[in-house]
Amino acid sequence: MKKENKKTYNIDEVGSMIEALTSTVQLAFDQNDITNRHLNNIEKDVSILKTDMVEVKDRLGNVEEKVDVLQEDVTEIKHKLSEKVDRDEFNALEKRMIKLERLVFSRG
């Protein structure tokens, strides 16, 4: 059989142990309080970020709509431009017209 060692502590030793335990518990509470304050700040920052993200999504939605309208406008402009003559073609047609007018007026 193993003999149990039962040590008795005097009042000063018990007081020191209680003081050390109290100090440890107080330190844990202080650390917990600091952690809670940091978590509260993080929660506020996350809330602000969520609000900002909603605003960014709304703005992007508006930009997408505007880009769609611009794309339709550009397509329409390209179509209209493709039906027109360029400067060189215009000059060539103008010269032909002048020749035709001279021909018509000279016969007339």
Interval 3-33: pLDDT, tens: 677 788 899 999 999 999 999 999 999 999 9
Residue 85 lies in a domain: yes
pLDDT in tens, 32-79: 999 999 999 999 999 999 999 999 999 999 999 999 999 999 999 999
Residue 6 lies in a domain: no
pTM of the model: 0.48
CB 55 within 8 A of CB 47: no
Q: What is the domain count for the chain? A: 1
> What is the C-alpha to C-alpha distance for residues 52 and 58, in angstroms, rounded to an integer?
10
Q: Tell me which residue range forms the domain holding 21.
A: 11-107
Residue 1 lies in a domain: no
pLDDT attached to residue 14: 93
pLDDT attached to residue 27: 95
